[in-house]
Amino acid sequence: MASVEMENLKQVMKQMMAVGFAPKFDGTVDPIQLRQVVQAAQAHMALEPNVSYQQETLGGIECELSLPDNARDDAVVFYIHGGGLICGTAETSRGYAGMLAGESKLPVWSCTYRLAPENKFPAGVDDCFAVYKALLEKHPGKPIFLIGESGGAYLCIVTALKARDEGVTLPAAIVPYSPPIDFSGAIDRHFPGNKDFTVTPEGLYQLRDWYADGDYEDPYISPYFADYTGLCPILLAWDESESLAKDSEIVRDKAQAAGVEVVWKSYPDCFHAFATTGRGTPESYEILRDTVSFFNAHI
C-alpha cells in the first residue's frame, strides 16, 4: 500500500492533468503543448537551497551544472531528464538535479539534448553520448554516474551500451528509474494490475512513432534486444502498477543473467517515474537516499 503522502500526490497530479497543468502520455499528446506545460511547471519549481546553477557547453551541447556549496570532488553525476524524449531541457531539470546535488554533495550535470519529433533517433542518443565523453575528458579519472527517469533512463542505458561498444570508459554505475526499453511491441504492457494514469500503452506507441523511423529492434532504440554483458552496476526503481513495470523487470533479469551487479526495488501503487518526487513522499525519499548510498558504494 502506498503512503498517505503518495496517495495525496496522486490525487493532486490527476487534478492537474485534468486541467492541462501536468503532462500525460495517453496517445493524445501534442508535443509543443506538452513542452509549454513542462516549462510552466518549471517556473514554479522550488529550487534546492545552497546549490548554484551554471551554464556551460560540453561536447557541443548546452548543459547546466548544479553545484552544491562545499561540493565533493571525488565523483560526478550526469542527470539525463525524462519527458518522453519529446520535452524537457537542462533548465527544466533543475528541480531534481539540484536535489541530487544537495543530497549527495556531488556536482550534477544535466543537458539539453535534441528532442523528437523534430529530431528523431539517434539525435538524443548522440547528444547524451557526446556530453558523457566530454565529462570523461573534463574530469579524468573520476567516477561518473548516469541517472535519469523515463526517457532519460532509457538514454542512461543506451549511453552505457555505446560506451561499452565503442571502447569508451564505462560509467561507474547507472541509475535508470522506469526506463522504456522496447519500442517494437515485444513487451505487452496491457497487463493485469496496470493502473498507470500518466503513461498508457497507447501513449507509448505514439511516442515510438515520433521517436524513431523503423528498425525498432535496434538495441539502441529498444534495449530490450541488447546484450548487457560487461555493463557497469545498475540501480533500478519502479512502480509495480506503471505501464513500464515489465521493462524494469526485464532490465534486471537480463543484466543479472549477464553477470552485472543489479540493485533494485519495486513499489506498489505509486506512478510512473515517481522517484523524481525526491523528498516529497516516503517512497521517493527512500529512493533518493538509496541512490546516494549507491553512488557512495561505487566511488
How far apart CA 2 and CA 10 sit, in angstroms, is 10
> Which fold is adopted by the domain 4-297?
Rossmann fold (3.40.50)
Residue 281: per-residue pLDDT = 98
Determine phi and psi for 13, rounding to 5 degrees.
-60, -40
pLDDT < 50 regions, the chain = none
Domain limits, the chain = 4-297
Residue 46: per-residue pLDDT = 84
CA dihedral 122, 126, 128, 131 (to 10 degrees): -170
Is residue 246 a contact partner of residue 191, using CB atoms and an 8 Å limit?
A: yes
Residue 294: per-residue pLDDT = 98
Is residue 111 a contact partner of residue 63, using CB atoms and an 8 Å limit?
A: yes
Residue 33: per-residue pLDDT = 85
Beta carbons within 8 Å of 232's beta carbon, 6+ residues apart: 160, 170, 171, 172, 173, 174, 260
Q: Tell which residue, 164, 143, 159, 176, has the closest CA to residue 263.
A: 176
Residue 51: per-residue pLDDT = 98
Residue 16: per-residue pLDDT = 86
Residue 20: per-residue pLDDT = 76
- Tell me the pLDDT tens digit for each residue of 181-225: 999 999 999 999 999 999 999 999 999 999 999 899 999 999 999
- Tell me the pLDDT tens digit for each residue of 156-187: 999 999 999 999 999 999 999 999 999 999 99
